Amino acid sequence: MVLQVRGIVLPEREERSFWIDGDRLREEPVAHADVVMDGGWLLPGLVDVHTHPGTEEIGTPLDDEVLRKHLIDHRDAGVLLVRTPGSAGRIPKWVDKDPQLPRVRSAGPWLATPGRFFPGHGRDVTEAELVAAAVEEATASSGWCKVIGDWDPNNPPVPLEILTAVVQAVHAVGGKVAVHCQTADGCRNAVTAGADSLEHGMHLDHGLIDRMAAQGTALVPTISVFEAGAQRAQTREPSPRRDWFLSGWRGMSATVRAAHEAGVTVLAGTDSFPCGTVAEEAQWLARYGMSPEAAVGAASWTARSWLGMPGLVDGAPADLVAYDADPTADVSVLAHPKRVILRGEVVV
C-alpha cells in the first residue's frame, strides 16, 4: 500500500506532499494512496548521536533483549537514527537487518587505556595498542571508533601524540573518531589531534572553539546527563572532585552558546536512560543558548546530515516524524509526535 503525508517540511518551511512507496519517499503523486498525515509539520526522523543501548549497568555485557528494547524505546519516541559512540560490545549485525528498529551507526566498544574508564566496561588496551585497536573497531563497525580521552581530573589524558596517531590512522581507512573529554587537557588534546567529535566537552577552553569550527569537530554536550549529575552532586559534601564536576557543569551553558555562535556543529545526545529522550536534550540545547530551530535541527536534520543521511527529499529513506504544531516555535513539542514512520511503515 502506498502512503501519503502532507505538511510543512522542516527546515525548509515548505508545504509539500510525499508518497511513500516501500521504504522511500517520492514526490511523484500516486492515485488512491492512504493519507496518514494531512497537515502539520514534517521532520526527518529524530537522531540521538550519543546513546548506549544494550546495557543499563556498568560492567554488564551487551544483552540482545535489552538492546532491542532500548532501540524500540528510541523508535517509539521518533528517534529513527542513533549513533552509539561506545558500548559494552560490538552492536550485532542482526540490528541492521531488523526493519522494526532505528538505523544504527556504531563505534564498537569504548577504547580505554589504563586508569581512564570503568575497568572491563569496554575494551581495555594499552597506549601502545590504541592506534591498532581504533582502526580495528572503526573498520568492524559503522566507521566510528570511540576513545576515552581522559577520565580522572587528577590523571593525565591520553597523550597528544598518541591521540593524533589514532585520528590519522582511522581517517586513513575512512573512519571517524569520537573522543570522551571531560577535562581541559583532554579537550585540548582531542581538538588538537583533529577528533571528529568531542563527547561532553566539559571544561573546554573557549580558545579552541574557532579551531573546532574550522576543522569540523562537532560538540556533543550530553546536557541531560550532566544536569542530573549536578543535582546529585549538589547534595554531597564538598570535595575536590565534586567541586571540579560542578565547575565544569556550570560552564557548559556558555560553552554550548559560544560553540554554536562560532559555527561548531552542536548535536543532541542523551548518554542516559531511559532511551528515547532526545527531545529533552533538544530543550536543554535551547535553554543553553541555541535558537529553537538550531536545537531541533541538532536532534533531526543537522544530525542526520552529519551522519551522512538525507533529509526529506525525493528518494530519501522514508524515516520521518510528524507533529500537529511547529516544534521550532516550542521545542517541547518534539516529545509528542503525531506520526512516526520508519522505513515506510507507520509505527506510531
Q: Identify the CATH homologous superfamily for domain 3-44+310-346.
A: Urease, subunit C, domain 1 (2.30.40.10)
Q: So where are the chain's domains? A: 3-44+310-346, 46-299
Q: Is the bond preceding 11 in cis, omega lying within 30 degrees of 0?
A: yes
Tell me, what's the pLDDT at 59? 86
Condensed to tens digits (0 to 9), the pLDDT of residues 286-300 reads 999 999 999 999 999
By three-state DSSP, how is residue 177 classified? strand
CA distances, 9 to each of 14, 34, 43, 325 (Å): 5, 19, 6, 12
pLDDT (tens, 9 = 90+) of the chain, 348 residues, equals 899 999 999 999 999 999 998 999 999 999 999 999 999 999 999 999 999 999 988 889 999 999 999 999 999 999 999 999 999 999 999 999 999 999 999 999 999 999 999 988 999 999 999 999 999 999 999 999 999 999 999 999 999 999 999 999 999 999 999 999 999 999 999 999 999 999 999 999 999 999 999 999 999 999 999 999 999 999 999 999 999 999 999 999 999 999 999 999 999 999 999 999 999 999 999 999 999 999 999 999 999 999 999 999 999 999 999 999 999 999 999 999 999 999 999 999
pLDDT, tens only, 69-86: 999 999 999 999 999 999
3-state secondary structure of 263: coil
Query: Starting at the edge strand that comes first in sequence, how are the strands of the sheet with 176-181 ordered?
Result: 123-124, 111-112, 144-148, 176-181, 197-200, 218-220
**E-assigned strands of the chain?**
3-9, 14-21, 24-26, 34-44, 46-48, 79-84, 103-106, 111-112, 123-124, 144-148, 176-181, 197-200, 218-220, 320-323, 339-342, 345-346
0.95 surpassed by pTM:
yes
Please tell me the distance from the alpha carbon of residue 215 to that of residue 191, in angstroms, as a whole number.
Answer: 9
Mention every residue, 6+ apart, whose C-beta is less than 8 A from residue 12. none
3-state helix vs strand vs coil in the chain, percent to 5: 35, 20, 40
Q: What is the pLDDT of residue 344?
A: 97
Q: What is the pLDDT of residue 71?
A: 98
User: So what's the pLDDT on residue 80?
Assistant: 98
String of b and e for 80-118 (b: at least 16 CB within 10 Å)?
bbbbbbbbbebbeeebeeeeebbbbbbbbbbbbbeebbe
User: Fold for domain 46-299?
Assistant: TIM Barrel (3.20.20)
Q: Collapsing DSSP states into helix, strand and coil, what is residue 11? A: coil
Order of all β-strands in the sheet with 24-26: 24-26, 14-21, 3-9, 34-44, 320-323, 339-342, 345-346
Cis check for the bond before 238: say yes or no (omega within 30 of 0): no
Give just the sign of the alpha carbon dihedral 17, 266, 96, 60.
negative
